[in-house]
A and B are shown apart, each in its own frame.
Chain A
Amino acid sequence: MNLAIQITRGLSAEVYKYKKTLTFWLLIIAPAFIPAINFLILWRRGGDIIKDGNAWDMLMQLSMGPANFLFPFFIIMIALLVNSLEYNANTWKLIYAQPLSRFSVYFSKVTTFVMMLFITLMLFTTFTILVGISMRFVKPGLGFEVGYDYTLVYSLYLKIFLCTLAMAAIQFWISQRWKNMILSLGVGIAGVISSLIVMQGWKYAKYHPYSYHVLTTQGLSPENNSVWASMEHVYYSLIVAAVFFIGAGIEQTRKRIV
């Protein structure tokens, strides 16, 4: 059986498992959380906040800060959920005893995990833009009537997605390797907190894998459309992600499945 068929089958089964799970709802509800709050803020107090300046820029500011802070915790949670699903159901031995190569099974899981993160960020972007557009009707006059470069917003969050792949890979590896949830949560939270401290000005902050998405958006504002001008953090992130995803894959194809 060729690899493409194996991976298609693996993916199809992997996606199906999340039917009616908390994980599935998280993917939809979590990215709506910050936009919902922003909707309330703009609706009730929009006039006070946007005195002068671009309404859209203000909305982007209100979105990016909280998103950059909360998204890492979302990654930690999803990495934990996709792996603890198998631990709790005792199903590692089920999925690895099927006539699919271990690589296909692993690859399906990783792909599903990464797609979940991507979809969530793209939903978040879409919801954020919808908040702006809805203000034209809910509260006209705030300044949302003018158009905005939506592609730029999507590119920005695509870059954030790429920059968080490093920590996503690390969290995935830990959650897959150890059943203990506390370990994965502990490392994740320690990683996020320490990155916040390191980024206060330490020059080696760029080597901290949990900090790339914040560093890459620092000094970058939506009005200067140079999202892809500096690729340093994207490259760092992709390298770390490749190392951990490949390492976790090699480990999974060799390890004893209990």
Chain B
Amino acid sequence: MSQPIIQANNLDFFFKDFKALDQVNINVPPGSIYGFLGPNGAGKTTTIRILLDLFRASSGEVKIFGNSLKTHRDDILGRVGALIENPSIYKHLTGRQNLEVVRRMTGVGKRRIDDVLEIVRLRDNADKKVKNYSLGMCQRLGLASALLTDPDLLILDEPTNGLDPSGIIEMRELIKSLNKDHDKTIFLSSHILSEIEKVATDVAIIDQGKILYEGKLEGLKSGSDIQELRIELNDAHKALPIIQGMNFTISDSNAHYVELPITGREDIARINKALVAEGLDIYQLKTSSENLESVFLNLTNRLDQ
């Protein structure tokens, strides 16, 4: 596989004593629409804020376009367009003037404003004051401002939040066309599974700050090649960093066992070899697809509520 556009390794994040993110790993393949799925409060927006350097993770590293966000922040942000939660819009200005503010900060040409207005189909209302905009128009304006620098990566946080059905469909078509016709990799968060299903090529599921699944959308649907692996061994604490180092996400562990989702039998062999090589005693390796499925089911129920 080619290098991921976004690669986040073992992100931890705290709000005072509350652990909002727990060893979050993300790998966004180039050209994908990456659905980031989780219930409200799961850590989606927190993760996104870390990806944009608005928050800084207590530990872990973020690489975007192969470069560290810490050392290449300004260059990276110049190639990323973002729409975070509720729209960021100056209500006393018109749609066009709002874009002008961002244009001045980014230094792109004036003509680009008309281009992005065209893409989000807001040209006719561009010179109206934003306070007269509907929520759908505000979201599209937010998307237009994210597109201003012609970014390679779009990070959209709940872009359909609060939209009416026709607005949701319109936004969905827009996202698909940006991905297909404009070659943009799109990182899209949502708490609605059915919505992600309709557009995403890849998904990650996050709950209570932990990634429960990451992979192809089909993998999530069939469930056949995803399994929950339970490893019983003598020293789980020593095993955790080894397994995480191989880019797996731990779903549960204590001193005597580790549980994690895997995508095939080869993974079991690989993990086993690595653990034995580190001198750990393995007592049992047990897979169950039932367990993971029930996690998804439970989550899906909660998500759709």
Interface residues of A (CB under 8 A from B): 1, 5-6, 9-10, 12-13, 16-17, 19-21, 85, 88-91, 93-101, 105, 256-258
Taking CB atoms, residues of chain B closer than 8 Å to A93 are 49, 52, 54, 84, 88
Inter-subunit contact A257/B78 (CB<8 Å): no
What are 21 inter-chain pairs, A to B, with CB distance below 8 A? A9-B106, A9-B107, A10-B105, A13-B104, A17-B90, A17-B101, A20-B92, A89-B91, A91-B89, A94-B88, A94-B102, A97-B77, A98-B102, A98-B106, A99-B76, A99-B106, A100-B105, A101-B73, A256-B49, A256-B54, A257-B49
Query: A1 and B87 in contact (CB under 8 A), knowing A13-B101, A97-B82, A98-B102?
Result: no
Q: How far is the CA of A26 from the CA of B77 in the complex (A)?
A: 35
- Identify A98's interface contact among B91, B92, B105, CB under 8 A: B105
Inter-subunit contact B54/A19 (CB<8 Å): no
Query: Closest approach, in angstroms, between the C-beta of B67 and any C-beta of chain A?
Result: 13
B75 at the A interface (CB under 8 A): yes
- The residue of chain A having its C-beta at the shortest distance from the C-beta of B84 within the complex is A93
- Identify B93's interface contact among A6, A19, A94, A258, CB under 8 A: A19
- The residue of chain A having its C-beta at the shortest distance from the C-beta of B80 within the complex is A97
- The residue of chain B having its C-beta at the shortest distance from the C-beta of A10 within the complex is B105
B86 at the A interface (CB under 8 A): yes
Interface residues of B (CB under 8 A from A): 49, 52-56, 73-78, 80, 82, 84, 86-93, 97, 100-102, 104-107, 145, 149
- Identify A91's interface contact among B54, B80, B88, B106, CB under 8 A: B88
Pick from A6, A93, A95, A99 the residue with the most CB of B within 10 Å. A99
Inter-subunit contact B88/A5 (CB<8 Å): no
Query: Closest approach, in angstroms, between the C-beta of A81 and any C-beta of chain B?
Result: 12
- The residue of chain B having its C-beta at the shortest distance from the C-beta of A6 within the complex is B74
Q: How far is the CA of A258 from the CA of B46 in the complex (A)?
A: 10
Taking CB atoms, residues of chain B closer than 8 Å to A89 are 88-91
Inter-subunit contact B88/A90 (CB<8 Å): yes
- Identify B97's interface contact among A5, A19, A101, CB under 8 A: A19
Taking CB atoms, residues of chain B closer than 8 Å to A6 are 74
The 4 A-B residue pairs whose C-beta atoms are closest, nearest first, are: A99-B78, A94-B88, A13-B104, A257-B54
Q: How far is the CA of A9 from the CA of B97 in the complex (A)?
A: 15
Pick from B54, B86, B97 the residue with the most CB of A within 10 Å. B54
- The residue of chain A having its C-beta at the shortest distance from the C-beta of B50 within the complex is A256
Q: How far is the CA of A16 from the CA of B113 in the complex (A)?
A: 16
Q: How far is the CA of A105 from the CA of B77 in the complex (A)?
A: 14
